[in-house]
Amino acid sequence: MEKHYHIVTYGCQMNVHDSERIAGMLIELGYSEAPSLEEADIIVFNTCCIRENAENHFFGNLGALKALKREKKDLIIAAGGCLTQQKGMAETVHKKFPFVDIVFGTHNLGKLKDYILQKRDGYKKSIIRIDEDTGVIYEGSSFRTSYPNAWVNITFGCNNFCTYCIVPYVKGRERSRKSENILAECRQLLDEGYGEITLLGQNVNSYNNGSDDLSFPELLRKIGDMDGKFRLRFMTSHPKDFSEDIALAIAGSSHICDCLHLPVQSGSDRILKAMNRHYTRDDYLRKIDILRKHVPDCAVTTDLIVGFPGETDVDFKDTLSLVKEVGYASAFTFVYSPRTGTPAAKMEGQIPENVSKARIMELVELVNSQTRTMSKKYIGKTVEILVEDYDEKRGLYLGRDEHGRMGYFSSDEDEVGNFVNVKINHSNGVSIMGDKV
């Protein structure tokens, strides 16, 4: 009898790719994707704890399965990821939801197959395994779900310990995959027809920093030299480790997109120091100057946090002025939320909600106005779009140009996976629309 799986994913692209790796394991065990959650024989939660309300969402969704578990005695429920890796969380999950069969963390994701086999072999008790970080990297197959885009992890964990961030505590210290494994994976993806590869890591710039393997710019060049029609992106870059050599690697390859995500978080030196970001406003702007010296047309995107403890009106105005000075193509904007276990959660000067709300609205309006202006500049130009999907409601294909701008167009042919030239005749905020040429 065929068995099915269902994966519930929370969080960023790195978590999405972890879910692809989990799906690869389940397929190796003979499972196929379930038509619906109710028809699944195993349900896996891949959690995230970056946002404040992640725990409530997870507990709510998990609790809703109690009745299904009572009805289907052989159903296996597993919960893992960043949230369960937090100190004491695995025990909390087991206590509140004793019907959960497996609780695992970020450090032992590669052992999930073994845990599932134990349960299938009749092991009665719940398996609660949250391992310490051993530095071992799981190299296994993935079931890709985002064609024509492919995600490739090059690093795991983080050494930076920004005061607001929980990642180093739940994902462990930074460790890099061997370049030979990364290069082999990228070659296979290109052979399978993927049009875009995105290298992933909490800080890709420090890939194998201090080791005898390839540096990050060298890795970019090796992948960028591969044959075929494809694009190469990478995220996330930490500004303190962004170098001229990386800018030269981008400039030297037609495959590497002229688009860089470089999170600044704040425009205030005082707040950057409190965040433990290891650079100043001027340091950051010098990196932008280096980038644009070698890649003049590069689109720069960023992350911005408002309402960090102690942030004054002057600090916030510094952030607004930086946004104007850099001219970001787009930005992810966040209101600071305290994460238990981080230094910032204990800092004095927590900002009132109404102040943070007013600041985020002002920041979003500024970012959106810049994005709208940049989108209008596309009108009349012809751009190459890698088609990602078809929007049934609009009746249009969609995809991104190399700068990351989402574009829409119509076609009588199936264009998913193709590179298509589109002449832009209209813009709408972050999106552009046009005709296939």
Query: Model confidence over 123-141: pLDDT tens digits?
Result: 888 999 888 777 778 787 7
The CA distance from 249 to 70, in Å, is 56
- In 187-312, DSSP assigns E strands to 196-200, 231-235, 259-261, 299-306
pLDDT band at 210 (very low <50, low <70, confident <90, very high): low
- Taking only the tens place, the pLDDT of each residue in 212-264 is 789 999 999 999 999 999 999 999 999 999 999 999 999 999 999 999 999 99
Cis peptide before 155 (omega within 30 of 0): no
**Which letter does DSSP use for residue 265 in this model?**
B
Look at residue 145 in the predicted model and tell me its pLDDT: 87
Look at residue 49 in the predicted model and tell me its pLDDT: 78
Amino acid in position 330: S
The CA distance from 200 to 234, in Å, is 6
Distance, first Cα to last Cα, the chain: 49
The CA distance from 430 to 160, in Å, is 32
The CA distance from 193 to 340, in Å, is 43
Six-digit token string for 168? 């180093």
Range with lowest mean pLDDT among 75-84, 125-134, 332-341: 125-134
